[in-house]
Amino acid sequence: MRDWKDRWREKIKTADEAVACVERGQRVFIGTGCGEPQTLLRALIGRADHLADNEFIQTISLGLVPYAEERFTDKFRLNAFFIGPNVRNAVNEGRSDYTPVYLSEISRLIEAGKIPIDVALIQVSPPDEHGYCSLGVSVDITKSAAEAADVVIAQVNQYMPRVLGDSFIHISDIDYVVEAHEPLLEWRADDGESPEEIDRIGRFVAELVDDGSTIQTGYGSIPDAVLRHLKNKKDLGVHTEMFSDGIIDLVESGVITGKKKTVHRGKIVASFCMGTKRLYDFIDNNPVIEFHPSNYTNDPCLIGKHDKMVAINSALEVDLTGQVCADQLGYMFYSGLGGQVDFMRGAARSKGGKPIIALPSTAQGGKVSRIVPRLSEGAGVTTTRGDVHYVVTEYGVAELHGKSIMQRALAMINIAHPKFREELLAAAKFHHYVFLDQSEVPYRGLPYPQEYETYKTFDGVQIFFRPIKPTDEEMMKELFYSFSEETIYQRFMGPKMAMPHRELQHFVNLDYDTRMAIVAIVREKERTKIIGVGRYSLDKTTNIAEVAFVVHDDWQNKGIGTFLMNMLIRIGRDRGIKAFTAEILAENKRMLNLFYKTGLKVETRFEGNTYIVYMPIQ
């Protein structure tokens, strides 16, 4: 039996000799992203005079794309599964094609011959002692293309890392070998977004990631920002279609261990990567890293087998009902379907999974809102409203799963840029998404005071304290109807049977200036509940604010009311409020004691059956 090394030597050609096998009218696959075989591509373009009507098939290109230039219109035509910046004009000017397919399904189309490939140009690492070359940084659909192609031409590059997993091709399956050693293409995030905005988005998304979660992130400034804010998490895993340099620090610091993964425990699984030489050195022969074809990594059924799977994806715009457009700006095709839907649906199937869309609230330097009443004319739906669970901007998190259109619209308005919220609310009213009398107060007052968000543990239960939001109306309604008759009597100083929307919205739609409220929130399984509220209403003529409190019966006598009062005191002092006042029933000794516990000077006078309380706070 002949040694594979003999066959290897026979297959070695120069780049020009190898690509000479490409004939007119043939379909040529080109390796993906940073794995693009630059030497082979240059040689093929150099033979343009000998070619005609050749179709180039590729997922995404990071290098030069002469085959998409106008001068080669009669020679070449690109068919892209994902549109990068370097081919965007060509696609939208009609010189190149875009095929919208989920990344999980492309290999199946190739294998079935629905996307036939005559020649595959790939890039691999040098062979090991058994004659196997690694596809390195780009396994994705490259492995399927190489297996289906009639002819495989491989650029063997010593700079290509040897990546483990289902990532190998044997020398016997390569027809021509071109030894050409050159640094791989590198990629760095540069989205042109405000670092402060992106950092806030990253922090909000990271707060949704629990210890032991398995994460999927893409490439760009938002995924990098998310990774930066995961440094205090424990035992995270990675199952993703691709990753970049951002994961390295988390692996080296022990945040990413994969110990809690339910599939491929201890392994970082992906299908390709894009980054810098530091990343390529990190994945080289690293037993923690496994690359697999995209039809495996992006299989929603496999993704869903990971417990606590968190899928983090981006969008160009999201409408008030939760529909996501990620690949178009109006009629202009901008990117591609990629693996967004694969991972969003997979994460939704996961036990404890979280499908997340993260995007800045505006575009074009703040001139355009990305949160819109309806998607732009011509724009298609990438991810349906039924697939989206969370939407995150720099203004917070909108939890949409299982929510009504009214709840969704209010949640989306709440995370839009403040200067667009009034017009978004007007559009929501016009389309009857919300009540016609829905208050506009929160969108005309001060910005949501995020600085007053905090956590505190009571009896072993962590409680989240934050300013109230318009989206809290449903939880406030539930809180009211869970009160005992005594609690209602003491809070409202008399019996009260109902809390309709026209009254309830007064409690949740605040300007955060003259009226402020802090809610105490607990999470029970997958549900959040308000268990207490402290609020004040300020009379600006006197600079005195009236305060009121209520805590759910099951949570009373635990110190929650006192904590709420101390938060209001802090806010009042920050805002320069002179004093707090309150009116309480004479028998409500518990509330009176709460005021005395603050350490403030408490002045009282008795009127009828109530106490009038006055407390200077400065």
Structure confidence by residue, pLDDT tens digits, 81-107: 999 888 999 999 999 999 999 999 999
Residue 264: its pLDDT value, please? 97
What φ, ψ does residue 485 adopt, rounded to 5°?
A: -60, -35
Question: Which candidate, 299, 307, 303, 313, places its Cα nearest to that of 359?
Answer: 313
β-pair type (454-458, 461-467): antiparallel
- Residues 6 or more apart whose Cβ sits within 8 Å of residue 325: 315, 316, 317, 318, 375, 376, 379, 380, 381, 382
CATH 3.30.70.2860 fits 450-616, yes or no: no
The percent of residues in the chain predicted with pLDDT above 70, rounded, is 99
User: Mean pLDDT, to the nearest integer, of 249-267?
Assistant: 97
- CATH number at 195-438: 3.40.1080.20
Structure token digits, residue 419: 């200067």
Q: Mean pLDDT across the stretch 271-297?
A: 97
pLDDT top residue among 302 and 72: 302
Residues 308, 305: Cα–Cα separation, whole Å: 9
Pairing mode, if any, of strands 610-616 and 579-585? antiparallel
Number of Cβ within a 10 Å radius of residue 425: 24
**pLDDT tens, position by position, 427-443:** 999 999 999 999 998 88
CB-neighbour burial class of residue 47 (10 A; exposed 0-12, middle 13-18, buried 19+): middle
pLDDT 10s digits, 7-52: 888 899 999 999 999 999 999 999 999 999 999 999 999 999 999 9
Catalytically active residues are 241
Q: In the structure, what pLDDT confidence band is assigned to residue 64 with cuts at 50, 70 and 90?
A: confident
At 67, the pLDDT band (50, 70, 90 cuts) reads: confident
CATH 3.40.1080.20 maps onto the chain at: 195-438
**What's the helix, strand, coil split of the chain in %, to 5?**
30, 25, 45
Q: Is the pLDDT of residue 160 over 60?
A: yes
Which residue(s) pair with 33 in the sheet?
61
The residue-averaged pLDDT of 243-251 equals 94
223: exposed, middle or buried (Cβ count in 10 Å: 0-12, 13-18, 19+): buried
Query: Under 8 Å CB-to-CB from 72, ≥6 apart: which residues?
Result: 45, 48, 66
Average pLDDT for 235-254: 96
Residue limits of CATH 3.40.1080.10 in the chain? 4-179
pLDDT over 70 at 190, yes or no: no
| Consecutive H or E run containing 209 | none
pLDDT band at 75 (very low <50, low <70, confident <90, very high): confident
Q: What is the CATH number of domain 4-179?
A: 3.40.1080.10
- CATH 3.40.630.30 in the chain, residue ranges: 450-616
Higher pLDDT, 341 or 5: 341
pLDDT at 411: 95
Reported as a pLDDT band with limits 50, 70 and 90, residue 1 is very low
Query: What is the reported pLDDT for 192?
Result: 56
Give per-residue pLDDT as tens, 375-428.
999 999 999 999 999 999 999 999 999 999 999 999 999 999 999 999 999 999
pLDDT, tens digit, 9 for 90 and up, residues 537-556 = 999 999 999 999 999 999 99
For the chain, what is the mean pLDDT? 93
Report yes or no: 542 and 578 within 8 Å, Cβ to Cβ.
yes
Q: pLDDT above 90 covers what percent of the chain? A: 82
CB atoms within 10 A of CB 20: 15
> Cα(57)–Cα(117) distance, rounded to whole angstroms?
8
Residue 241 has a CB neighbour count (10 Å cut-off) of 26
Which of 54, 286, 301, 58 is CA-nearest to residue 162?
286
Alpha carbon distance 565, 535 (integer Å): 9
Tokens describing residue 530: 């308000």
**Predicted pLDDT at 218:** 79
**Distance from C-alpha of 299 to C-alpha of 379, rounded to nearest angstrom:** 26
- Distance, in Å, from the CA atom of 209 to the CA atom of 216, rounded to the nearest integer, reads 11
Taking residues 135-145, report their average pLDDT.
97
Number of residues that this document lists for the chain = 618
Q: Which residue has the higher pLDDT, 218 or 166?
A: 166
Task: Give the pLDDT confidence score for residue 121 in this predicted structure.
Answer: 97
Any idea which of 464-473, 490-499, 554-563 has the lowest mean pLDDT? 490-499
Higher pLDDT, 451 or 609: 451
Answer whether residue 191 shows pLDDT above 70.
no
Q: What is the pLDDT of residues 542-599, one digit of tens each?
A: 999 999 999 999 999 999 999 999 999 999 999 999 999 999 888 888 888 888 888 8
Per-residue pLDDT, 116: 95
CA distance 236 to 226: 13
